[in-house]
Chains A and B, each alone.
Chain A
Amino acid sequence: MPRLKTLGPVVLGCAWLAAGCRPAPTGPPAASAPEWFSNITASSGLTFLHRAGTNYFMPDQVGSGVALFDYDNDGRLDVYFVQNGGAGSDARNQLFHQEENGTFKNVSADSGLDVSGRGMGAIAGDVNNDGRADVVVTEYGATRLFQNLGGGKFREVTRAAGLDNPRWAATASFVDYDRDGWLDLVAANYLDYDPTHVCHDVQGQQDFCAPQAFSPTATRLWRNATAQAGGEPRFTDRSEASGVFRVPGVALGLVCADFDGDGWPDIFCADDGRPNRLFINRRNGTFTEEAAQRGLAFNAMGATAANMGTAFADVDGDGMGDVFVTHLTDEYHSLYKQGPRGVFLDQVGASGLQQQGWRGTGFGTVLADFNSDGAPDLVSANGLVRRLLKNQTPVAAGVHPWWARYAQRSQLFVNQGGGKFRDLSLEQPALCGEAMVARSLAVGDLDNDGAQDLLLCAVGGPARVLRNVAPQRGHWLKVRLLLPQHGGRDAIGAEAVVHAGGKKHWAVLQPATSYLASNDPTLHFGLGTAANVDSIEILWPDGGKETFNGGATDKLMVLKKGDGK
């Protein structure tokens, strides 16, 4: 034994030399600190398996998404998953209702939402001001509107509503761009795909085509022309008149919010392999594209990159929204910090986000304060678009073997304050431990415990429900913003500033961010040690401002326009 002890290091050293001094291959993350998420997929009842083809048809690798919304107004979030099996396929979109005990029940049958198609994303919003959230589904070749009839029933009204978009629509968003109290609709179309075009990688193997192989397409904007509250939804095409068609793009990410501080919502498109576009609202029904001069078109080095998922939140606590855009494994993500108002600068280099345990191709992304310390953290849902020689393992159970070649592990970065992030992925087995072809990522408080949970969707694999179990969470406040004048619907586009503990916490109500997703329409504010809220300022979508009294934290506040001061 003493001999072994003595020779041990020498033998080990020899073995290390013989192995070529290479570091150990990256294995699954090992939790050395408390996890922030627990995988509750099995117990939740949210069993959804995404289906996608395996013949390099490009729409297969782009979708599909998920919407979190409360379709029956029972105060609990329901879930709508989008499938990608094609028209006539038995792979149909699925609607899950959250029961009183917090589990989910599949209520797709006869809901009217159990449709099939080349599904991409889904967004929820009340388009006819009847107080019930309707649903828009984007597809390869269509943008479909489903009116919520109540009682868990939906009816497709696409054609009757005047919506016609034969293009490949990836991402969509509701926005009241003319501030008339009715939700308008933006569909930022993806590329002009040629399904007969076959692509190979440099090494000669067939693989998915890159977006650069195809032309960009025009973004579409429809103005809501519904006659009266509760009436049949009607839209008129304003793509041409508004000017948004003038600068075509290849959008995968979309954020409709006020980017220049004038109180009117603008349209930001994250374009895949092309400069991003920012359509600034001229307040007269038209838009001008200003991404380049406002610092949002290119990355920190002035280059074009594969822009995909988007998140919009105040990462550094300066009261202004910052934009995060995900990119490919061999590119850097972008963190466009706003300041002064209306101009942005990609400061990813100084943010700590480039120091990562592993690199990923990010799609869905959210900036949410998971530990409620007052600074939004970052999650990137990862999955490749072209095969790597050495894939990440282990691959999550249920991922189709063909798609496993594109699997990657997702990532979590904790915001340490001031927009400085640290990679926490190694300590997160449930979220980051297994590789998936992750795409859509939605955030919301599924169990109404005041902590932000996650729903992760993947191509050719099962969705994953991740309950927030972050330790030592701070105080929090949830704020629901409603417009009683407009059927009591969510005030999409409203901005809120919560004053607590000497700090200001800013957020905008825009559920349609991340990637092909619709998030919880209730705002969540992490407040750290602040046990009381001083006040809440709301800038409503019509430009009106109100202040509401604060009070104790750790609760949901429902604020209605007209009730404030």
Chain B
Amino acid sequence: MKRQKSSGAKAHKLTGKKSSRRSPVRALVGILAVGICLGLGFWILKFRAQPTPPVVALGLLDPALRSLIETSRVAVVRAPESGAAWGRLGETLQAAEFFPEARLCYSNAAVRDPQNFRWPYLSGVLEQVGDPALAVRHLTRATELAAGRTDSPRYQLARTLVEQGQFDQAEPHLKLLLASNPGHAAARVELARVHLARGAFKEATLALQPALTNQYTMRSSLLLGAQIAQRNGQPDIAAQLARRASSLPRSFDWPDPVLHDVQALRTDRARLAEQANRLLQQQKFPEAGAVVQKMLDAAPNDPEGLLLWGRLNYLQRRCPEAEATYRQLLRFQPDSLNALVQLGLALMCQEQWTNAAVTLERALALKPDFAQAHGNLGLARSKSGDTAGAIRAFRDALRNTPGDLAAHLNLAEELANAGLLEEAEQHVAHAAALNPKDPRVIQARTQLGVK
């Protein structure tokens, strides 16, 4: 029995039957079935080894990004065994926010290029919110593969662990990052966050110190420092740190060359507009001009591009050029609120007060709660001698945005011009309550004789 059982078990393994003492025909059928299945399995595996790249709807996509995806897709079709080609396609799809498709490409890239940290890294970053446990697995693998050549995978792994509240698991990674790069300010911030969560305020403060002077982490360090101080019973210091933080611009993300590569793939109009806006804020006019020109070269009537071009001219006091640009935009988008408001400013800049007022009134018909437009309308009417109209406009500005110091003072001035001194004094008093040291307040008080 024992031997029979053993023999039967063996036959079961081969043919899927309970006994080898069956007819040879049935055994042959069994062998054939296994053969067919193995063949099918081989074919499927072969098929799987060369999957087709994902297809996405490119119809409305920005031409630059569309072309990039198409080129990358062709590269995969030509070299389906190339991990780099799959990875590149994944990156272009990620840049266009086709995330499921990008995941699939990274997965194929990782199979074909298993020693490259980049693919599990990008997979991990994609999973950070949706599936943090999977993200940790990918990022752990990427960290191993990176073997210290870049600290991005370890940093993202540590961040993911901190975000999950797995502080004990995150801490060694943060310490390793700091051991290899003591200047890794972002790791210091995360380490401080770990200490804060544990209530170790002294350690948190110490960890944070070097990050307070780093341009990438200054703001977040100040904010974390404010929290630590408040918890430590130092509310005044906390308030001071919070004030300092709020006076700083938004922090830049900690540099990450891999993610930078992916982000750099986006050269669409929206991204160019973001760049141009940032450059205009920094008053880097030639650089901004180059970016806006690129937008307009691709689409001469691009509304966003024209608005930026007009703004660029206005900020450089080239007001007639700004006016022409906004008028060009308004020819095909007559209800562009932004264009109307900006045109109003361009006209005011050329002292065309009546035209400016008419333009701003058109803007306010589209958006009656636009406080800034009410304020500008007040100024335009005032300059064109319409005191009553200016008073109405400044009142509307304050109605929409209480606490607008300039509107209070402008209204006071118009009220005084209209002989309404008592009410004018009230608005100067409002302005003084908002900021008694403001030179405009001091001047208004002097002019009106208000103490």
- Residue numbers of A with Cβ under 8 A of B are 2-3, 6-7, 10-11, 14, 17-18, 20, 141, 164, 166-168, 192-197, 200-205, 217-218, 220, 237, 239-241, 245-246, 288, 290, 292-295, 297-298, 300-302, 330-332, 340, 342-343, 345, 347-351, 354, 359, 389-390
Contact = CB atoms under 8 A, between A and B. Distances in A.
A220 B41 contact: no
Interface string B25-62: 00001000100010011001101100100000101111
B399 to A, nearest CB: 6
B318 interface: no
Given A17-B41, A166-B399, A203 B96 contact: yes
A267 to B, nearest CB: 15
A3 B242 CA distance: 73
A183 B220 CA distance: 38
Given A196-B338, A293-B239, A166 B163 contact: no
12 contacts: A3-B29, A20-B51, A166-B400, A196-B337, A202-B97, A202-B268, A239-B402, A240-B434, A292-B246, A354-B164, A359-B130, A389-B100
Given A195-B366, A196-B366, A347-B197, A293 B401 contact: no
A48 to B, nearest CB: 29
Contacts of A240: 402-403, 430, 433-434
Contact of B165 (A203, A295, A349): A349
B226 A14 contact: no
B236 to A, nearest CB: 10
B412 interface: no
Contact of B337 (A141, A194, A202, A298): A194
Given A164-B399, A240-B402, 15 more contacts: A3-B29, A3-B33, A10-B37, A14-B37, A18-B44, A196-B367, A197-B338, A202-B65, A202-B270, A218-B403, A292-B242, A302-B224, A340-B231, A349-B165, A349-B166
Contact of B403 (A202, A205, A246): A246
Contacts of A298: 223
B438 to A, nearest CB: 14
Contacts of A197: 337-338
A245 B403 contact: yes
A350 B241 CA distance: 28
B224 A17 contact: no
Interface string B212-249: 00000000100110110111000100110110011000
A-B pairs, top 8 by smallest CB distance, nearest first, are A349-B165, A204-B60, A6-B16, A350-B165, A293-B238, A245-B403, A293-B226, A292-B242
A390 B270 contact: no
Contact of B230 (A168, A203, A246, A294): A294
Contact of B41 (A14, A217, A288, A350): A14
Nearest to A199: B270
B189 interface: yes
A342 B65 CA distance: 49
B242 A293 contact: yes
A293 B230 contact: yes
Interface in B370-408: 370-371, 399-403
Contacts of B37: 7, 10-11, 14
A301 B366 contact: no
B97 A345 contact: no
A354 to B, nearest CB: 6
A240 B196 CA distance: 36
Contacts of A330: 129-130
Best-surrounded residue of A195, A196, A246, A300 (most CB of chain B within 10 A) = A196
Nearest to A356: B130
B166 A331 contact: no
A302 B41 contact: no
Contact of A290 (B164, B166, B239, B337): B239
Contacts of B433: 240-241
A167 B226 contact: no
B369 interface: yes
Q: Indicate the size class of the contact surface on chain B.
A: 35 or more
A349 B257 CA distance: 28
B360 interface: no
A240 B337 CA distance: 28
Contact of A295 (B33, B129, B227): B227
B162 interface: yes
Contacts of A196: 333, 335-338, 366-367
B118 interface: no
A246 B405 CA distance: 11
B369 A168 contact: yes
A239 B403 contact: yes
B220 A302 contact: yes
Contact of B98 (A343, A347, A349, A389): A389
Contacts of A331: 129
B402 A290 contact: no
A19 to B, nearest CB: 10
Contacts of A332: 129, 163
Interface string B411-446: 000000000000000000010011000000000000
Given A167-B400, A168-B369, A205 B60 contact: yes
Contacts of B40: 14
A57 to B, nearest CB: 13
B132 interface: yes
Contacts of B335: 196
Given A202-B270, A390-B100, A17 B229 contact: no
Contacts of A217: 401
Contacts of A193: 367
Contact of A194 (B62, B98, B367): B367
Contacts of A166: 368-369, 399-400
Best-surrounded residue of B57, B189, B242 (most CB of chain A within 10 A) = B242
Interface in B276-297: none
B188 interface: no
A195 B367 contact: yes
Contacts of A167: 369, 400
Best-surrounded residue of B61, B129, B246 (most CB of chain A within 10 A) = B129
B112 interface: no
Contact of B241 (A2, A246, A293): A293
Nearest to B130: A359
Given A167-B369, A218-B401, A202 B96 contact: yes
B190 to A, nearest CB: 8
Contacts of A295: 227, 230
B402 A293 contact: no
Nearest to A6: B16
B327 interface: no
Best-surrounded residue of A197, A293, A298 (most CB of chain B within 10 A) = A293
Contacts of B371: 192
B262 to A, nearest CB: 13
B166 to A, nearest CB: 7
Contacts of A17: 41, 44-45, 48
A237 B165 contact: no
Interface in B145-173: 159, 162-166
B82 to A, nearest CB: 20
B138 interface: no
Nearest to B239: A293
Contacts of A141: 368-369
A211 to B, nearest CB: 15
A343 B57 contact: no
B17 interface: yes
Nearest to A342: B230
B141 interface: no
Nearest to B65: A202
A15 to B, nearest CB: 9
A290 B229 CA distance: 13
A300 B227 CA distance: 12
B393 to A, nearest CB: 14
A143 B427 CA distance: 25
A354 B164 CA distance: 8
Contacts of A293: 226-227, 229-230, 235, 238-239, 241-242
A24 B223 CA distance: 44
